[in-house]
Amino acid sequence: MQQIHLSHKKAEIIFRIMLSLIFIIAGSNHLFATSAVSRRLQNSDLGTWLTTYLPPELLVLLAGIGLIVAGFFLLLGFKTRLAESVLLLIIIPITIVIQLQGLHTLGPLFKNIGLMGALIHFMANGSTHYSTDHYLSNE
């Protein structure tokens, strides 16, 4: 059996691309399916409470913009630690409000917990290879 060797540099860029696409696609969904995402927010117990103070569409649009912008920052490896902080600030409340609804949301709950772990990884390490941050630090 042949062993596959993947360098740390290549693994990091693949990890960063795959992770960023999750947030870019999720953010696009927030922008292009705002009504559906807003209904989901309003149908959750905490979301009902939250939307008495802020319009659900506004919350969904702001989250969508944040997910897309920070997702592209992550994709490019630009201001990676800031991007990860923004993504965590968005995904933690989404996880609490939407994913803590009972047994039927356990899968998405643990997916989000895994995503948070990946975000913490990049917050701690930054983007070290094939990134705008790396390129700018070498000038």
23 pLDDT tier (thresholds 50, 70, 90): very high
User: Does the residue 137 lie in any domain?
Assistant: no
Contacts of 112 (CB under 8 A, 6+ apart): 91, 94, 95, 99
User: Does the residue 29 lie in any domain?
Assistant: yes
User: Does the residue 138 lie in any domain?
Assistant: no
User: Does the residue 92 lie in any domain?
Assistant: yes
What are the pLDDT digits (tens) for 51-68?
888 999 999 999 999 999
User: Does the residue 120 lie in any domain?
Assistant: yes
pLDDT, mean of residues 65-85: 96
Mean pLDDT taken over the chain: 91
> Could you tell me if 91 and 30 are in contact, meaning their C-beta atoms sit under 8 angstroms apart?
no
pTM of the full structure: 0.89
User: Does the residue 119 lie in any domain?
Assistant: yes
pLDDT, mean of residues 10-35: 96
Sign of CA dihedral 40, 43, 49, 54: positive
Q: How many independent structural domains does the chain possess?
A: 1
Domain span at residue 43 reads 8-129
